[in-house]
Structure 1
Amino acid sequence: MERELKLRIPAEDLEKLRHAPLLAQAEGAAGAPTLLTSTYFDTPELAFHWCGASLRVRCIGDERLQTLKLEGSARAGLFDRDEFELPVDSDTPDLKLLQDQIPADTDCGRLICDESTAARLKPVFVTRINRSVIPLRLPSGDELEVALDEGIVEADSGSVRIAAVELELKQGQAESLYGLALELLETVPLRIDHLSKADLGYELLVAAHSEAIKAQPVHLGRRDSLEDAFCSIARNCLDQIHANERGVVSGHDPSCVHQMRVGLRRLRSALDLFAKVIPACPGLDEELRWIASELGAARDWEVLAGSTLQQAATGRNADEIIPVQQACEQIAVSNRQRAAAAVESVRYTRLVLQVAIWLNRKGWREGMSDKQREVIATPAVQFAADVLRRRHRKLIKRGKRLADLDDHRRHRARIAAKKVRYATEFFASLCARRAVKHYVEALTALQDDLGWRNDVVVADQLLTSLPRTSPDATTGAAFARGYLASRAAADHEPLKKLWKRFRRLSPPR
């Protein structure tokens, strides 16, 4: 099992990092770099790639090393995956060496066992990396290896330069990797790297874009403690956040911005939900608010340029909406670039590393009394029931006469509904399935309507400001505002019915 934390670094800062006290004083500090030439092999249809594997032969002097890496998890830059490494006698792979190590009933195993695969293998790209390796032994006893890489990935279709730092765990706990990365971050501006060298090579071959990733269900056991439940929920939220980072940075799919923002909201909601028993690390909420706001501006203009204005672009006034949409799309693209820059920033890298350390070390235990530790060791079932009851009661209070509320109070009710939804999804596995299903269905319908009403309010604010920067959009913006206001007024009775339906339900148990 390979456990590596991958970080990008400006090429001009590699030498500065090499002389950082932590690395320069290490026993066996880096000498002259070694050239590593790795040739990646695949079938013409890239069968290894599509089953989540990479196959290479690395040349180090006169030695040849064959490596197969399987798809694993990549969380906050930490790659956790199975790796099979064996010496070979030639510059091409020997699949027979792998047949006893990969389960034959997996996609990769079937590919390796197929006699025709070896004959169809061909080089698909090459990496040429100058690597300096520095072994580290920390005071904790954990053993790490720091690799400073500079080089190139080359394919027939193009090439890409690499300057990176790889921190590999040889022995010890994963949080040591994050702690070391934070120390190195004080010397040079590092960034979380979401792509392995194999990923970079395949990106030169395949024009694939990162898809938006929605939250996966949270699975809790009825015997899980409060602390166990919190860890599972927090990691679930972080998985959604990290899964969409790459898509936000690439900018190909605006939905990645939305899903990363949802992940951040879910995490903040989870921290709030457990705040009385598991306090967050200082400054965490402020930093989560910052990155969420950077994504929020992009999302607001995307929604306006897309679904909201499409409602108004009907009938004889459709032509007037076109310049409004064009202006909004330009602003959305600009804000999407700003969101990408935020996710690529040192500030965000530091946030990711600090959260990873806090969660892995269970940093909330520091300073806890024995009584507080006893509380977080109790079963989560009763806590979940109490939380769902309290949040449901708060939504009922804030939603009184919901259809008649002003924008501000309706917004507060919408936030309360969102918190109820997140809490219900977090604890769904501890409740009766049928009760959760009916409750979430009614709550989702209510949320959808409240969300649309909020989009209309935001749209009105953005359309009001638009003519100052886009005079050609003045007439269309005024029409769109009027049209959306009339649609919101017409929603009065449907919203009353949705609220009435939800009020009849009790929170699931």
Structure 2
Amino acid sequence: MKDARDWVAHLEAYLPLALSGEDPEGVHQVRVAGRRLRAYLDLLGFRVLKDDLRFLVRQAGRVRDLEVALGRPLPEGFREHLRAELSEARRSLVALLRSPWMGALLRALRHLPPLDKGQARKRLRRPQERLEARFLELRAEPSLERLHAFRRALRRVRYAKEFLGLSTKREKALQEVLGEVNDLRVLKDLLLAYLHRREDPEARSYLEGLESALEAATRRALEGLGLGSIPRG
């Protein structure tokens, strides 16, 4: 079981790889560490540094989303567009990781106090209640947006429970089911943004298949949660 010090060390260990761009795992692990540390701050009851970590995760997430998308078979015009977007996103991330802001963030993270397990267990109730609320909203009106909100709440509960040494078998299983939906949702958003800029018949045709794949993945995810399908518009 890793604590905050372990995740700060994890973040620092993967920074060189994220900066080099030689392996997508570098950026992925920077984002993972940022999310884990935000969950730790929740258990501490801290507001300080949460916005900083959110910003770091968002910047790393942009690069990660593009890298994941480019790992799929894509129409050539769309692929070239994503490569250009990735190049720009990487430049922004590298500038951030090399900035004085990043150094200050790391110094602050190294001084996070240990958890008071009793207080942390009490604070776990809030993300658990949020997760339950997101599930009830999803059950009342299944939609991609509500499924995404449920997935985010689920992740935060899982990370918090792991800091407390609690079982997360159920959360991990659900995250695996929901992961493919999220990847396809992000890819669709990227494709729609591309098609908004230019007309590309090949990409337009690809969108039809992507929407079918997303619908099937969403149906499997909802079935895994014991819910019905999203109504067609």
Q: TM-score range by the shorter chain?
A: 0.7 to 0.9
CA distance in structure 1 between the aligned counterparts of 2:5 and 2:86, rounded to whole angstroms: 30
Q: Which of 169, 193, 199 is residue 465 of structure 1 equivalent to?
A: 193
Partner of 2:44 in structure 1?
274
Q: Does 1:304 align with 2:69?
A: yes
- Show the counterpart of 2:231: none
Matched, 1:425 2:145: no
Q: Which has the larger radius of gyration?
A: 1
- SS of residue paired to 2:225: helix
Partner of 1:290: 55
CA deviations over 1:292-328 (Å, ceiling 9, x no partner): 222122112112211xx33xx5xxxxxxx23322331
- Tell me the SS of whatever aligns to 1:411: helix
Q: Could you report, residue by residue, the CA deviation over 1:19-67 in whole angstroms, capped at 9, with x for unpaired residues? A: xxxxxxxxxxxxxxxxxxxxxxxxxxxxxxxxxxxxxxxxxxxxxxxxx
Matched, 1:327 2:81: yes
How far apart are residue 256 of structure 1 and its match?
0.8
User: Aligned to 2:69, what secondary structure does the other structure show?
Assistant: helix
Identity of aligned residues (%): 28
**For residues 330 and 395 of structure 1, what CA distance do their matches in structure 2 show?**
37
1:61-460 residue pairs with structure 2 within 5 A? 217-218=1-2, 233-275=3-45, 279-281=46-48, 284-306=49-71, 309-310=72-73, 321-356=75-110, 358-359=111-112, 380=117, 382-383=118-119, 385-388=121-124, 391-400=127-136, 402=138, 405-428=142-165, 431=166, 436=167, 440-460=168-188
Which structure ranks higher in relative contact order (CA pairs < 8 Å, sequence separation ≥ 6)?
2
State the TM-score, normalized to the length of structure 2.
Answer: 0.82
- State the shift of 1:397 in Å: 3.0
The structural deviation recorded for 1:247 is 0.5
Runs (5+) with no aligned partner, structure 1: 1-216, 219-232, 314-320, 365-375, 502-509
Partners of 2:26 and 2:69 lie apart in 1 by 17
Q: Letter of the 2:5 partner, please give it.
A: R
Instruction: Give aligned pairs, total.
Output: 226
Contact 2:42 2:123 in 1 (8 A): no
- CA displacement at 1:384 relative to structure 2: 5.1
Name stretches of at least 5 consecutive residues in structure 2 with no aligned partner: 228-233
Aligned Cα RMSD in Å?
2.8
**How far, CA to CA, are the matches of 2:51 and 2:125 in structure 1?**
28
How far the C-alpha of 1:488 sits from its partner, in A, is: 2.0
- Structure 1 letter corresponding to 2:26: C
Q: 1:280 to 1:463 in 2, by over 3 A?
A: same
Partner Cα distance (2:185, 2:83) in 1: 19
TM-score (norm 1): 0.40
> What amino acid is aligned across from residue 293 of structure 1 in structure 2?
R
CA contact 1:251–1:340 (8 Å) conserved in 2:
no
